[in-house]
Structure 1
Amino acid sequence: MTVHYQERGHVALITIDRPERRGAMNLESYQQLAEGWRTAAAAPTVRAVVITGVGDSYCAGADLKEFIPMVAEGARDRAEKGEKPEAAPASDDAIEGSSSDLTLAVLRGVDYPKPIVAAVNGPCVASGMEMLLGTDLRIASPDAVFGLPEVKRGLFASGGSTVRLPRQIPYVHAMDILLTGRHITAQEAMQFGLINRIVEKAELLDTAMEIAHAIAANSPGAVSATKLSVLDGFKTGITQAYARELEHGDKVFSAPDAIEGPKAFLEKREPRWTGVSQSV
């Protein structure tokens, strides 16, 4: 196994383990990563997910020797036949398994219902960077680097970066990363707003788990509704986004947790949540 999955309380930990390839992913790795996302999404006790790598390796994208030739061949075949690539599927179908493993692995077009914390312990480039854009909170070690070097290789960042990156950081910074293909440091990434903070490597995973457990301590239904409402706002006009916000809110206010939360606060005790993460 090159991708490991385990659960620690209400938090799932997904670890990419290919240090000999600096975290570069082959087809098997993408399939295992996609399965990890599916498992965490379906697990009723999991309320948050942490994604990280091993040693000094996070995710350096697709393995150029094995994976890129296969992708290029597929693109050439479609071009010769005049076919268009398949559009990203509906997010719930993507998680359940009807989408390609590659699409789900990099969280492209997926409204993942549970919060994801990225603990970037090394190079986060190419599809590793594209996957990062599908996470919600991001911390990195001081030596981490980030980038989309596809243009330097005559390739294209088709894992969602041309869509998501300009929506997450200022346009000029996004275009700097996309068009120059250069790597940026962890310090630059924090200045750009790409990551939340920089943490010493020895403390990185523990810090990420602390963040995830803090999220998991909240009402899972309220947390997932909040995340999905934010994601809806990226996809629709403001009027429809406000309408969807009210729909998400009604689900939360009509659930038992909306009674348990205030009651526990008044009784000065920890709440006993019975709700689960919502799906789209």
Structure 2
Amino acid sequence: MTQIHLSRPARHVALITIDNPPKMNAMTRPMLAELGRLWDELERDDSRCIVVTGAGERAFSVGADVSGDLSAGPEMARMVSHALLKTDAYKKPIVAAVNGDCIGGGVELLLASDIRAAVPKARFGLTEVRWSIYPFGGAAIKLVQQIGHVHAMDLLLTARLIDAAQAATLGLVNRVLPPEQLMDWALETAAMIAANSPSAVQAVKRQVSGTIADHALTREALEQELGDAVRASPDFAEGIAAFREKRQPRY
């Protein structure tokens, strides 16, 4: 059974929940495919705002399930791109309720959202380079746009984690909220958006997301080239082995 759930907690509001708590809401290939399918469904229906969150109390999402198949041809690249809305000029606003750790592809999904809050214990980071993985989901393109060059490069190159308070200071999230307030805030924000003119809201969202998508599309060929080169390097096997063996890699 796929572990991406859709519910409708209020009129014109949809809620997507990433549900794989034993693996900190890591997303398998079927989950990524289902997430992409849901974006398509919600773009066509009467939803006016979408909330995305993770199941449980530990994680929003730690990205791709690295314990699974790691082949990354063009078809997989397209699946990841669509699941994370990397190059989509998506027209529906997205509110992110970050209920726990947001790492790797979780951050890349976060970058596709528009308004974000996190609980105090949430940690944020792009750890891909530690494991010799290229951040295919758009972080190397979008993060600089959203939080500025020096802050983006700090996260992308050091692979360190930051806490929710620092994420708010950098502008990666709007605010930090107690866990018991997070979903109420997300649904209230979504309802506020849904009460506005859907044609006007979606026009604004399409302009903003279209600008981001156009830029991402111009970088896509180089993304694939760079990612393939990283995967072909001897570092890749060591990085993945170290990740799976829960040890520091030896490069």
Q: Into which bin does the TM-score normalised by the smaller protein fall? A: 0.7 to 0.9
Displacement, 1:102? 2.0
Which of 119, 143, 146 in structure 2 is aligned with 1:165? 143
Aligned CA distance change for structure 1 residues 17 and 135 (closer, same or farther; 3 Å):
same
Higher-RCO chain (CA-CA 8 Å, sequence separation at least 6): 2
Aligned CA distance change for structure 1 residues 21 and 42 (closer, same or farther; 3 Å):
same
Q: Check the 8 A contact 2:25/2:62 in 1, yes or no.
A: yes
Residue 27 (structure 1) aligns with: 29
* Amino acid corresponding to residue 185 of structure 2 in structure 1: T
Residue 241 (structure 1) aligns with: none
Residue 82 (structure 1) aligns with: none
Partner SS, residue 70 of structure 1: coil
Which of 64, 69, 86 in structure 1 is aligned with 2:66? 64
Aligned CA distance change for structure 1 residues 154 and 233 (closer, same or farther; 3 Å):
closer
Partner SS, residue 58 of structure 1: strand
What is the CA–CA distance in structure 1 between the aligned matches of 2:53 and 2:213, rounded to whole Å? 28
Residue 252 (structure 1) aligns with: none
Partner SS, residue 172 of structure 2: coil
* Amino acid corresponding to residue 50 of structure 1 in structure 2: V
What is the CA–CA distance in structure 1 between the aligned matches of 2:36 and 2:214, rounded to whole Å? 27
What is the CA–CA distance in structure 1 between the aligned matches of 2:38 and 2:81, rounded to whole Å? 13
Aligned 1:97-246 pairs, distance under 5 A = 100-234=78-212
Larger Rg: 1
Partner SS, residue 71 of structure 2: helix
* Amino acid corresponding to residue 188 of structure 1 in structure 2: Q
Residue 5 (structure 2) aligns with: 4
Residue 48 (structure 2) aligns with: 47
Residue 38 (structure 1) aligns with: 40
Length-normalised TM-score, structure 1: 0.72
What is the CA–CA distance in structure 1 between the aligned matches of 2:7 and 2:93, rounded to whole Å? 16
Aligned CA distance change for structure 1 residues 40 and 235 (closer, same or farther; 3 Å):
closer
Length-normalised TM-score, structure 2: 0.80
Aligned CA distance change for structure 1 residues 117 and 173 (closer, same or farther; 3 Å):
same
RMSD over aligned Cα atoms: 1.7
Residue 20 (structure 2) aligns with: 18
Q: Check the 8 A contact 2:142/2:212 in 1, yes or no.
A: no
Residue 259 (structure 1) aligns with: none
Aligned CA distance change for structure 1 residues 31 and 201 (closer, same or farther; 3 Å):
same
Displacement, 1:22? 0.6
Note the residue ranges of structure 1 that are not aligned, 5 or more in a row.
Answer: 75-84, 89-99, 238-280
Q: Between Structure 1 and Structure 2, how many residues are aligned?
A: 211
What is the CA–CA distance in structure 1 between the aligned matches of 2:52 and 2:210, rounded to whole Å? 23
What is the CA–CA distance in structure 1 between the aligned matches of 2:38 and 2:210, rounded to whole Å? 24
Partner SS, residue 86 of structure 2: coil
Displacement, 1:10? 0.6
Displacement, 1:136? 0.4
Note the residue ranges of structure 2 that are not aligned, 5 or more in a row.
Answer: 216-251
Displacement, 1:32? 1.5
Q: Check the 8 A contact 2:84/2:108 in 1, yes or no.
A: yes
CA deviations on 1:226-271 (whole Å, 9 max, x unpaired) are: 122233455679xxxxxxxxxxxxxxxxxxxxxxxxxxxxxxxxxx
What is the CA–CA distance in structure 1 between the aligned matches of 2:37 and 2:199, rounded to whole Å? 23
Partner SS, residue 113 of structure 1: coil
Displacement, 1:16? 0.5
